[in-house]
Amino acid sequence: MAKKRRGRPPGSKNKKKAGRPARVKGLTKNFAKMEVGQLRDYIGRLEETLAAKIQQQREFLEGQLAGLQVYANNKAGAAIRAVMRVPRTGKRAKPAPKYQSKKDRKLKWTGRGMLPNWMRAEMKGTKLTKDDFLIK
């Protein structure tokens, strides 16, 4: 079985040297030997290139901003709708009773909470179950 290597894989070392400046293609001319007119032409072309790059980046960022504005408007609209929704001020309706006493028809129970005393008393000593008290 091959031994696992630790660290970087071979050939992945950083190629940049710390002391060297980054080279840009096309800037290898010796500016000190150029004529004034040539330098002005070169500066003009650089300014045109820079203006084109700025315009390209502006268009890209404006497109991104437009997409974000649509997203933000949707989120803001949802938040406003949630805030503007009228909250319930009334209470819930009482649940309908499910169980009724065999002896006293006025005693009823919804089936929530603890077993009522009247049902416990009626079931005691008999074979009655909770299902026998269901309202039909």
Within-domain flag for 129: yes
Whole-number Å distance between alpha carbons of 113 and 107 = 15
Element (H, E) at 26: none
Whole-number Å distance between alpha carbons of 122 and 101 = 8
Residue 45 reports pLDDT greater than 60: yes
Q: Are residues 45 and 78 in the same domain?
A: yes
What does the pLDDT look like over 72-126, one tens digit per residue?
Answer: 888 887 877 777 777 777 888 899 999 999 999 999 999 999 999 999 999 999 9
Average pLDDT over residues 43-57: 95
Question: pLDDT class for 17, splitting at 50, 70, 90?
Answer: low
Question: pLDDT class for 136, splitting at 50, 70, 90?
Answer: confident
Average pLDDT over residues 25-37: 73
Whole-number Å distance between alpha carbons of 110 and 94 = 9
Q: Are residues 111 and 76 in the same domain?
A: no
Whole-number Å distance between alpha carbons of 72 and 66 = 10
What does the pLDDT look like over 56-86, one tens digit per residue?
Answer: 999 999 999 988 888 888 888 787 777 777 7
Is the four-CA dihedral 46, 50, 56, 60 of positive or negative sign?
A: positive
- Number of domains making up the chain: 2
DSSP alpha helices (H): ranges in the chain? 36-84, 117-123
Q: Are residues 79 and 123 in the same domain?
A: no
Domain span holding position 108: 99-133
What integer pLDDT is reported at residue 8 of this predicted model?
74
3-class secondary structure, 134? strand
Within-domain flag for 14: no
> How many other C-beta atoms lie within 10 A of the C-beta of residue 119?
19
**Predicted structure pTM score:** 0.36
